[in-house]
Structure 1
Amino acid sequence: MAQAEDRLLEMQAGEVKVLSVPGAARVAVGDGHVVHAIATEEEEVIVFARNEGSSAMQIWTRTGERHAYRIQVVPEEAQRARQELHSLLERIPKARITATGNKIVVEGDDLADEDRQRIAALASRYPQLVDLTGQVGWEPMVLLDVQVVELPRSQLRELGLRWSSPLAGGVRTGMAWDRGAAHLGASPGETPFSLSGTTSRAVGYLGMNALVSAHIHALAQVGSAVVLAQPQLLARSGATAEFLAGGEVPYTTSTDDGRGHTVFKPYGVSLRITPQVDRSRIVRSRIEVEVSAVDQGMSMAGGPALKTRRAMTEFNVRSGQTLVLAGFLSRETARQRDGLPGLSDLPLLGGLFGSRRRHDTETELAIFVTPVLIEDHDAAMQARVEAGRAVLDASFPHPTTLTHPVHGQPDHASALGGREIQAWDPWGGPGSQWVVDSGAASGTSHQPTE
C-alpha cells in the first residue's frame, strides 16, 4: 500500500473543487469547520471550503491506496491581494518572487533605491509581503563637474546665457576649431575629430558646453572673470556630495549663564549636490550653493560679518548637459579724491584744484553644473586612475620598507643594500616600550618603561 506525501491545496472561503481520484471509496477531513468533502460514484471527490484555516484530508481507494492533502483556506481578499502583489512585483527588475503558504517572499540583490522604496511601500500596504531584498542598493555613479565663476555682468550677457540679451537667437550654438590644424572641438573630455580639407564659414557647431567653457577660460586668463571653485565630485545616485573651499572665521557668543563661547563659521564656496538617476537615464539633482566672504566694511564686537549669496534648487538634465544658475549680483562702489592740500577743500573753488573719481563694479556669480553618468568601465575614469598611478610610481619608485622586520630574518635585505639588521622584538630592543624584569618571582615578566 503506497503512501504519497501531503499535497498542498489552496482554496478560497466558499470555493468548491472537484478532485479526480480513480477508485475513490471514502474520504476523511481533519477539521470539518474548515472544509467538507464527499466521495461520489463517478470516482471524484468534491471539496467544499467553508472557513479560513487549515485542515488535513485523507482519501482511500478501493485498492487500499491512500492520498494525503493539506488544504489551506484563505479569505477571498487574500487571494486577490496576492494576485495584485505578483502583478506589481513583476515590474521590478532583479526581484525574485516566491509564494510560501499565505506569504509572498520577495528577494533580490543590487536593486535600485527607487525599487527598494517601492517594495517597502508595498510591504506596509500588504502584511503578507516579506521583504528579504538586499539593504544596500546598486546605483549608478554620477560625476558632477561644477564651475563657480564670478565675472562682470556684461560678459555673462555675451555668453548668451541671458534670454533678454541683444544677441539674436538667444543661446548661440556652434563648434570651435583650431585653424592651424583644422580640428573640430568635441564635447569636454572627448577627443576632437579632424576635418578633411580646410574649414570654411559654412561649417557650424552644435552644443554649448565646450563653447561656454572656452569663453570662461579666456575670460579668466585676461582677468575679466574669477573662477572661485571648479570641483569635480563623484557620488552615487541618491547620495549627497559636499564641497567647501574657504576657511572658518571665529566669533564669540554668550551662553545662558553669560559666559563667552567661541565658535567658528565656515565661509567660502560651499556646495551640496544630491543627484538621482531614473530609468530613462535623466539626472534629477538638488543643489545647494553658498558663496560667502568676510565683509571688511562691517565689524562687530563678536566677530567679523559675512557677505553671503545662497541658492537652492532642483533641476532635470541629461547626462553631459550643462545647467547654468545665475542672478547673484554684487555691486561695489569705490570713491577716490585727489587734489592740492588745502586748496581742494575750499568751498566752491575747491573743484578747480582737485578731482573726484567714482568707480562702480557690478559682478554676477554664475554656477555651471554638468552631471555625467559614469559606467562600470568608464574609459575616462580608467585613464585618470592610470595617470595617478604613474605619478605615484614616479614619486615613490621604491616600496616602503621597515627598518626592523617584524618576523625572523630581514626580508628586505636587498632593498637595504644587504645590511644585516636585528629583527624587531615587541618585548624589548629598539622601538619597544617594555623592559624585561628578570627578578620577578614567577618567571620572566615585562613592565612598561618610564
Structure 2
Amino acid sequence: MAALAAAALASGAWAAEPVTTAARTGAQPPSYELPARFGAIELFKGEVRALEVPGTIRRVAIGNGALVSSTVVDGRLLLLAEEIGTTSLIVWNERGVALQGKLRVAPADTADVAQRLRASLGSVRGLKIEVVGPSVVLSGIVDPQMVPLIKTATSGLDSVVNLVRADEGDALKKTVHFKVHIMEITRRGMEKLGIAWQQSFNGPQIAFAGNPVHTGRYRTLPSTDAATFTDTPSQVAGAASGFYLGIATTIFSRINLAISDGDAYVLAAPELNSKSGGLATFLAGGEVPIPKAGAFGTTDVDYKPYGIKLNIRPAVNVDNVISTTLETEISQIDPSVSFGGFPAFLTRRTTSETSIRAGETLAISGLVNADASKAVDKVPLLGSIPILGRLFRSDEFRNNKSDLVIFVTPVVYDPASPENAALLQRGADVDANYRHRFGEPSPLPAANAVREQEVMEQKRPPLPPPGVDPMNGG
C-alpha cells in the first residue's frame, strides 16, 4: 500500500492532498538536489516535486502562490504545480538563502508528450520534434497531405507549438521541364499505345501512361526520347554473347513506333520550363482583331487569341512528386455565329489537378471534334492556324478516325541533376569556343573599337595601283 501511494503521489494522481497523503502513508516523493542558485525547475500541471534543501528550512517565498504551492515534509520542500505559468522561488535556511530560481509549469509532461508524438508521427518525413522549455515544438517542411494529420494528432495538447510548414515546392532549387507532344493519333494508334480511354465518356478525357520498373532479369532503358547503345543495360548473367535483346516499352518509343506506322502525326512538340510553384504557358494559334467603341467616339481594338493554349503550374514536394494544375484551352472561330460582321468563337477548356511522378506521362484528348473541321471550308483562315489547321485538313479526322491528343511529361531538374550538369557543360563549351575565336569579351569598349576599325577597313575601297590617276582613269 505504501508503494502504491508513493507512485500515485509522484504521478500527481492524488495532487489534491499531497501533504496529508505523504504524512499518512509515510511515502517519500523523489527528491532533487539543486545548487543554491539554479536556472529553472520545469514542472507540469499536477506534478509533485520534492527538493532537498541544505540545513533547516526557515522560510519559503513563491512569487505567485496560485501557480505553485509548497509545504515542508521531513525536512524537504514539497512543490505542487497547480496552474500553468512561470514564477520565482526563494528558500531560506539558518544561514540565509539556500535556494533561488524560477519555476515553470507546463500544461503536461513535455518529455512524455514528445515521446508519444515521436511514436505516432515519427514516420512523417521532414518533421522535427523538440522539447524547448515547457513546450514541445514541431517544425520542418512536410508533405501537404501530412499537415492535417499533424494538426489532428496535436489537437488538445496545449504544450505543443506547431511550426510545421507545408512543402509547396522548392522554387529556388527545382525546375520542372515539360515535354509536350501535340499529336493527331488514329483510333488504332491509341489502342497500340496501351492507354485505356473511356469509350463511353463524352468530352475531354484524361489518362496516364507510366514506364515499367525493371526486374532482376528484364531491365528498362532510360526514359528518354531515344535510346543509344551506351544506354543499353548490361547483358543477362549467363548469356553467351554481349548482345541485349529487349522490347521498347517507354511511352516515347511507342509514340515513335506509331509515327513510323502512320498511326500518329506530330503537330507540335514544344518544351516548357517552369520553376516549382511557377507558371509555364504555351500558345499556338493567333489573334483576331475585334474593334470596339472607345471614349469620345474613338475606336479601340481588342485582340482575341485563338488556337491551343496550355497553362501548367507545377509544385514539387520533397519526394519529387509533382502536383500539377493543367489548364488546356482550344478556341476556334465559329462561322455559324457572327455579330456585326465579327465571328464568334467556340472554346473548350479543361482544368485538371493531378499528382504524377517525374517521367510519367499525362494524356488529354477529346478537346476537338470532327464537326470543327467543317468550318475550314467556310472560313479559309482556319486552314492556316498552327496545329489546328493541319488537324482540320486531315481526312481521317474529318471521318472521326483520329483525335487530337496532348501528351505532357514532366522531368524535375535541380543543380545536382545530370541534365543540369550537361547544360552547364554545354554553356561552358560555347563560352570557351567564343573566347578561342574572338578573344576575351572584356573590356567591351576596347573590343568594340577594334571591331569597328576592322569593319571600316573592310568597307574602304581599295587604293589604285601606282601611276594610275583615279580622276582621269589613267
Structure 2 length-normalised TM: 0.59
AA aligned to 1:188 is T
- Out of 237, 251, 257, the position equivalent to 1:215 is 257
3-state SS in 2 of match to 1:416: helix
State the structure with bigger RCO (CA 8 A, min sep 6), 1 or 2. Answer: 2
Change (3 A) 1:148 1:49: same
Of 90-99 and 239-248, deviating more is 90-99
Matched, 1:268 2:307: yes
Structure 2: segments with no counterpart, 5+ residues: 1-33, 200-207, 213-219, 378-396, 454-474
Change (3 A) 1:216 1:401: farther
Instruction: Give the Cα–Cα distance (whole angstroms) in 2 for the partners of residues 172 and 74 of structure 1.
Output: 54
2:227 is aligned with 1:187: no
Task: Report what 2:247 is aligned to.
Answer: 205
More displaced stretch, 306-315 vs 122-131? 122-131
For 1:174 and 1:9, locate their aligned partners in 2 and report how far apart those are by CA, in whole Å: 59
Q: CA deviation at 1:113?
A: 6.7
* RMSD value, Cα: 5.1
- How far residue 173 of structure 1 moved from its aligned partner, in angstroms, is 12
Q: Secondary structure at the match of 1:365?
A: strand
Count, aligned residues: 369
Q: Is the 8 A contact 2:114 2:129 kept in 1?
A: no
- Hey, what does 1:422 align to over in structure 2? none
Residue 34 of structure 1 corresponds to: 67
Q: Structure 1: which 5+ residue stretches go unaligned?
A: 166-170, 176-183, 337-358, 405-411, 420-450
Q: Taking structure 1 as reference, are residues 234 and 119 closer, same or farther at Cα in structure 2, changes over 3 Å only? A: farther
1:365 partnered with 2:417: no
Contact 2:320/2:358 (8 A) holds in 1: yes
Query: Which residue of 1 is the match for residue 89 of structure 2?
Result: 57
After superposition, the Cα gap between the structure-2 partners of 1:134 and 1:418, relative to the gap in structure 1 and judged at 3 Å, is farther
Q: Report if the CA contact (8 A) 1:9-1:72 is conserved.
A: yes
For 1:346, the equivalent position in structure 2 comes to none
Give the Å deviation of 1:379. Answer: 1.6
CA distance in 2 between counterparts of 1:379 and 1:262 reads 48
1:243: Cα distance to partner? 2.4
1:416 aligns with 2:446: no
SS at match of 2:450: coil
Q: Secondary structure at the match of 2:359?
A: coil
Structure with the largest fraction of strand: 1
Q: Tell me, in whole angstroms, the C-alpha distance in 1 between the residues paired with 2:126 and 2:418.
A: 27
Matching residue of 2:144: 114
Q: 1:66 aligns with which of 98, 105, 109?
A: 98
Q: How has the CA–CA distance of structure 1 residues 14 and 381 changed in structure 2, closer, same or farther, with 3 Å as cutoff?
A: closer
Does the residue aligned with 1:320 lie in a helix, a strand or coil?
coil
- Hey, what's the Cα distance between the residues in 1 that align with 2:367 and 2:314? 23
The corresponding residue for 2:273 is 234
Residue 148 of structure 1 is aligned with which of 182, 199, 223?
A: 182
Query: What residue number does 2:48 align with?
Result: 16
Give the structure 2 partner of residue 387 of structure 1: 426
Asked if the contact 2:209/2:251 (under 8 Å) is kept, the reply is no
- Contact 2:143-2:318 within 8 A present in 1 as well: no
- Letter in structure 2 aligned against 1:370: T
Residue-by-residue CA offset, 1:96-142 (whole Å, 9 max, x unaligned): 5555555555565xx35739966996899978637497999636543
How many Å separate the matches in 2 of 1:134 and 1:162?
Answer: 34
- List per-residue Cα deviations over 1:408-436 (Å, max 9, x = no partner): xxxx47983899xxxxxxxxxxxxxxxxx
Q: Is the 8 A contact 1:239 1:274 kept in 2?
A: yes
**Which of 91-100 and 14-23 deviates more?**
91-100
**8 A contact 1:26–1:39 mirrored in 2:** no
Which secondary structure state, in structure 1, belongs to the residue aligned with residue 421 of structure 2?
A: helix
- Within 5 Å, which residues of 2 pair with 1:44-193? 44-62=76-94, 64=96, 66-75=98-107, 93-94=125-126, 99-100=131-132, 102=134, 111=141, 114=144, 129=161, 131=163, 138=170, 140-161=174-195, 187-189=223-225, 191=228, 192-193=231-232
The residue type equivalent to 1:272 in the other structure is N
Partner residue of 2:392?
Answer: none
- The one-letter amino acid of 2:308's match is V
Alpha-carbon distance between aligned partners in 1 of 2:196 and 2:168, rounded to the nearest angstrom: 43
1:325 CA drift (Å): 2.0
Q: Is the 8 A contact 1:174 1:205 kept in 2?
A: no
- C-alpha contact (below 8 Å) 1:3/1:65 kept by paired residues: no
1:295-444 to structure 2, matched below 5 A, reads: 295=334, 300-301=339-340, 303-331=342-370, 332-333=373-374, 360-362=398-400, 363-391=402-430, 397-398=437-438, 399-401=440-442, 404=445, 412=446, 416=450
Residues in 2 aligned to 1:15 and 1:185: alpha-carbon distance in whole angstroms = 63
Q: CA–CA distance in 2 between the matches of 1:258 and 1:79?
A: 77
User: Are the aligned partners of 2:209 and 2:362 in contact in 1 as well (CA < 8 Å)?
Assistant: no
The answer (yes or no) to whether the contact 2:209–2:361 under 8 Å persists in 1 is no
Q: Secondary structure at the match of 1:6?
A: strand
Q: CA deviation at 1:258?
A: 9.0
SS of corresponding position for 2:353:
strand
What is the one-letter code of the residue matched to 2:58? R
Deviates more, 1:79-88 or 1:296-305: 79-88
Task: Check the 8 A contact 1:12/1:73 in 2, yes or no.
Answer: yes
Q: Percent identity at matched positions?
A: 26
User: What is the CA distance between 1:373 and its match in structure 2?
Assistant: 3.2
Q: Is residue 173–residue 207 contact of structure 1 (8 Å, CA) maintained in 2?
A: no
* Partner Cα distance (1:90, 1:235) in 2: 33
What SS class does the counterpart of residue 33 from structure 1 fall into? coil
Report if the CA contact (8 A) 2:48-2:78 is conserved: yes
Please state which structure has a larger fraction of its residues in helix.
2
* Kept in 2: contact 1:54–1:73 (CA 8 A): yes
